[in-house]
Amino acid sequence: MVASGTRRRLATAAALPWAAWAALRMTGTERGFPLVPAMSFTPYAATSAVLPLAAAVRAGSRAGALLAAGSGTVLAAAVLARRRTSGPTVPSEGARLRVATVSLRKGLVHPAPVVDLVRRLGVDVLSVQELTPRTETGLVAAGLGELLPWAHVIPARPGAVASGSGAVWSRLPAEKSGAVPGTFEQPTVRLAVAGAMDVELTAVHTMPPSTSARSVRSWTRDLADLPEPDPGVLRVLAGDFNATVDHAALRAVLRTGWADAAQRVGRGLAWTWRPLRLPWPRLALDHVLIDPRIAVAAVDLFHVPDSDHRALVVDLVLPSG
């Protein structure tokens, strides 16, 4: 039989991983592999913190119970903060812009459901990641160009994976086009919106930090290279950031002045990615970051057949020009 003192010490030791996780999340000091990808699972760490707490209570370990309860409280507070609605009240008038972002899973998503989503929802601007030449041809053949006639497609650079291409399709005329540097192609368009300032939208796709220390370095650089809000134009970043707000690197991007559209309407916990053939885990890797002057009327998510990401559709209300 294990002595009661030993049981208490073991219960305290069992709470240490949750305490370390809470410390990393609170201080934003996670670095490298595998700590960075692990932070994506903070909501699951918060939920499972009841396990060391129960073990400590059963063993009669006051230290273990305090450690587990404190860790769980820190983690839960970080997760539940995403449910708070923030941002300006949605004005009754103002130019509206419906933005959607879709990941095509290395070009394996069939074009027809994507075009149907654009048509059914009346999407004004579509941000596309993991595009391939074949899928681009399929989207155009399925009628995407008729719905969104303005396109800025950047093919994958030589030597890169074919699905490294990115694109923006728009119903509104694109006055300028460019790109944001990154591991994958991230096209940018500047759109003229009647009754509002111009909108500059970038289709974001960062390197997944999930395989190695090198991938974490590329992901960190991709996020750091994203543009900041600009007082002269209404900027929007829409796409697959491969990051959740539990990552210090994404929070650093937000601190430059961006607002997360989903958090604006209390939907920061809504998941956008899961393994294609498994129900769990579910992570919020896709985001629409907006200039803080923009209001958010609604945020919705839609299943896209054969994609491991859900389409994120955001209704924006723009300030007058």
**Secondary-structure breakdown of the chain: helix, strand, coil percentages, each rounded to the nearest 5:** 40, 25, 35
Determine the Cα–Cα distance for residues 50 and 47; give it in Å rounded to an integer: 7
pLDDT tens sequence across 175-213: 888 999 999 999 999 999 999 999 999 999 999 999 999
Flag whether the pTM goes above 0.85: yes
Does residue 20 carry a pLDDT above 90? yes
What are the E-state strand segments in the chain?
95-103, 125-131, 150-154, 165-170, 174-179, 187-191, 199-205, 234-240, 259-260, 286-290, 295-302, 311-318
Residue 16: HSE in the Cβ half-sphere, 13 Å Cα cutoff: 6
Per-residue pLDDT tens over the stretch 51-80? 999 999 999 999 999 999 999 999 999 999
Confidence of residue 1 (pLDDT cuts 50, 70, 90): very low
**What is the full DSSP assignment across 221-263?**
HHHHTSPPPBTTBEEEEEEE-S--TTSHHHHHHHHTT-EEHHH
Q: What is the pLDDT of residues 268-283, one digit of tens each?
A: 999 999 999 999 999 9
Where do the domains of the chain lie, and which CATH numbers do they carry?
Answer: 4-83 (no CATH), 95-318 (3.60.10.10)
**DSSP label at residue 266:** T
